[in-house]
Amino acid sequence: MPALPRLLRAYYYATPAFWLLDAAFGVSVRVAFLDDFTAGKHVYYALCCALGALAFARPRLAPRVAVAESGANAGMLIVSFFAWYWQQMDIAATELGMPTAPPATAVANFVLSGFTAAVGYAYSSSRLSAIGSRQSAP
């Protein structure tokens, strides 16, 4: 198996460990958003674990699950970026407020999550296309 699929699979299957790291030590590897919404973060992790279990139990569904999950992650990253940006604009609009840059750890997490979502989406989409073309061949 090529390195990219192994890395993606390891990243996704490590979600329970990422959840434990986040819950026990506040180290957020898998989630680059929802920092202010702890309950939502736990629901997100639970959903990711359930999707991972589904993909593991039903390997034929894995590309579809990966496309849906990575697409949703990319969408949530975009929304979280604009939410942060608008918050900074609100702060800048006040007389006493001074916008702040996000911590380096948050930026690294954002980049890692975004990169993984983009690569996972592209790889899984190509797998779906390959499956579709094999099924439609005479």
**What is the residue range of 7's domain?**
3-136
Q: What is the pLDDT of residues 27-41, one digit of tens each?
A: 888 887 777 788 888
The model's pTM: 0.79
Q: How confident is the model at residue 57 (pLDDT cuts 50, 70, 90)?
A: very high
Helix axes 3-13 and 62-93, enclosed angle (nearest 10) = 70
In sequence order, the 6+-apart residues with CB closer than 8 A to the CB of 90 are: 97
For residue 58, pLDDT beyond 90:
yes
Q: How many domains does the chain have?
A: 1
For residue 133, pLDDT beyond 80:
no
Q: How confident is the model at residue 81 (pLDDT cuts 50, 70, 90)?
A: confident
